Amino acid sequence: MSEVQVQLKDGASARLPSSATVADALKQLDRDKAKQALAARVNGDEVDLAARLERFGANGDAAKPVEIEPVLPETREGLEVLRHSTAHLLAAAVLDLFPGTKLGIGPALLDDPRYGFFYDVIAPRQLTDEDLPVIEKRMREIAKRNMPYRRDDITKSEALRIFSERDEPLKCKLIDDKGGDTVSVYYIDGSPFIDFCLGPHVPNTNRLRAFKLLSLSGAYWLGDATQPQMQRIYGTAFFTPEELEAWLKQREEAERRDHRRLGRELDLFSIQDAYGQGLIFWHPNGAVIRKAMEDYLYEELNKRGYQFVFTPHIAKRDLWITSGHDQSYGDSMFSPVKLEEVEFRLKPMNCPFHIGIYKSQQRSYRDLPKRYAEMGTVYRAELSGTLHGLMRVRGFTVDDAHLFCTPEQVRQEIDGCVDFVVDVFKTFGFEKVKFELSVKGSDTGKQWLGGEEGWAHAEAALAESLDSRGVDYERIEGEAAFYGPKIDFKVEDAIGRLWQLGTVQWDFNLPDRFALEYVGEDGKAHRPVMVHRALFGSIERFFGVLIEHYAGAFPVWLAPVQVAVLPITDRVNEYAERVAADLRAAGLRVEVSTRGEKIGAKIRDAQVRKIPFMLVCGDREAESGQVAVRERSRGDIGAMSVEDFKRMAQRLVDSRALVNVVES
Question: Which positions from 100 through 129 interact with RNA, judged by CB under 7 A?
Answer: 105-109, 111-112, 114, 126, 128-129
Closest CA to 363 of 401, 322, 406: 406
C-alpha dihedral (195, 198, 202, 203), degrees to nearest 10 = 80
x/- letters, 610..639, toward RNA (CB under 7 A): ----x-xxxxxx------x-x----xx--x
Range 384-423, binding RNA (CB under 7 A): 384-389
**Out of 597, 643, 644, 654, which residue is the one contacting RNA (CB under 7 A)?**
597
Angstrom distance (rounded) from CA 187 to CA 91: 11
Only one of the segments 10-18, 144-152, 215-223, 439-447 lies at the binding site for RNA (rule: CB under 7 A); that segment is 215-223
Nearer residue to RNA within complex by CB, 236 or 409: 236
**Do 65 and 13 form a contact (C-beta atoms < 8 A)?**
yes
Q: Find the shortest distance in angstroms from Cβ 520 to RNA.
A: 47
Q: What are the distances in angstroms from CA 591 to CA 361, 580, 584, 613? A: 51, 7, 9, 11
Say how many residues make up the chain: 664
Radius of gyration of the chain (CA): 31
Only one of the segments 369-377, 415-423, 490-498, 595-603 lies at the binding site for RNA (rule: CB under 7 A); that segment is 595-603
**Out of 72, 210, 248, 271, which residue is the one contacting RNA (CB under 7 A)?**
271
Q: What are the distances in angstroms from CA 456 to CA 426, 438, 439, 598? A: 31, 13, 10, 69
Angstrom distance (rounded) from CA 406 to CA 162: 66
Q: Find the shortest distance in angstroms from Cβ 23 to RNA.
A: 21
**Out of 165, 596, 663, 664, which residue is the one contacting RNA (CB under 7 A)?**
596
Q: What are the residues whose beta carbons fall under 8 Å from the beta carbon of 97, sequence distance 6 or more?
A: 131, 134, 135, 138
Angstrom distance (rounded) from CA 203 to CA 182: 22
Range 135-194, binding RNA (CB under 7 A): 174-175, 178-180, 183-184
| Bond prior to 124 in cis (omega within 30° of 0) | no
- Kind plus residue range of the DSSP H or E element containing 296: helix 284-303
**Do 429 and 549 form a contact (C-beta atoms < 8 A)?**
yes
**Out of 524, 600, 663, 664, which residue is the one contacting RNA (CB under 7 A)?**
600
Only one of the segments 6-14, 216-224, 294-302, 452-460 lies at the binding site for RNA (rule: CB under 7 A); that segment is 216-224
Q: What are the distances in angstroms from CA 438 to CA 411, 483, 511? A: 16, 12, 21
Nearer residue to RNA within complex by CB, 46 or 492: 46
Q: Are strands 563-567 and 590-592 parallel, antiparallel or unpaired?
A: parallel
Range 525-584, binding RNA (CB under 7 A): 568-571
Only one of the segments 147-155, 299-307, 396-404, 607-615 lies at the binding site for RNA (rule: CB under 7 A); that segment is 607-615
Nearer residue to RNA within complex by CB, 373 or 642: 642
Nearer residue to RNA within complex by CB, 16 or 82: 82
Nearer residue to RNA within complex by CB, 376 or 544: 544
Nearer residue to RNA within complex by CB, 109 or 268: 109
Nearer residue to RNA within complex by CB, 25 or 103: 103
CB half-sphere exposure, 440, CA atoms < 13 A: 23
Range 40-69, binding RNA (CB under 7 A): 46
Only one of the segments 21-29, 145-153, 354-362, 381-389 lies at the binding site for RNA (rule: CB under 7 A); that segment is 381-389
CA angle at residue 44 from 38 to 50, to 5 degrees?
Answer: 40
**Out of 157, 206, 240, 277, which residue is the one contacting RNA (CB under 7 A)?**
277
Q: Find the shortest distance in angstroms from Cβ 271 to RNA.
A: 6
Q: Find the shortest distance in angstroms from Cβ 640 to RNA.
A: 11
Q: Are strands 3-8 and 66-71 parallel, antiparallel or unpaired?
A: parallel
Q: Find the shortest distance in angstroms from Cβ 438 to RNA.
A: 17
Q: What are the residues whose beta carbons fall under 8 Å from the beta carbon of 91, sequence distance 6 or more?
A: 103, 106, 119, 121, 193, 195
Nearer residue to RNA within complex by CB, 70 or 511: 70
Nearer residue to RNA within complex by CB, 500 or 607: 607
Q: Find the shortest distance in angstroms from Cβ 17 to RNA.
A: 29
**Do 58 and 165 form a contact (C-beta atoms < 8 A)?**
no
Q: Find the shortest distance in angstroms from Cβ 423 to RNA.
A: 32
Q: Find the shortest distance in angstroms from Cβ 383 to RNA.
A: 3
Q: Find the shortest distance in angstroms from Cβ 313 to RNA.
A: 21
Nearer residue to RNA within complex by CB, 263 or 528: 263
How far does Cα 525 stand from its chain's mean position? 43
Which three-class secondary structure state does DSSP give residue 295? helix
Q: Find the shortest distance in angstroms from Cβ 546 to RNA.
A: 18
Q: In what order do the strands lie in the sheet with 149-155?
A: 149-155, 182-188, 194-196
Only one of the segments 14-22, 217-225, 294-302, 513-521 lies at the binding site for RNA (rule: CB under 7 A); that segment is 217-225
Size of the site for RNA (CB under 7 A): 77
C-alpha dihedral (26, 27, 28, 29), degrees to nearest 10 = 50
Angstrom distance (rounded) from CA 518 to CA 394: 36
x/- letters, 329..368, toward RNA (CB under 7 A): ----------------------------------------
Range 219-238, binding RNA (CB under 7 A): 219-220, 222-225, 229, 231-232
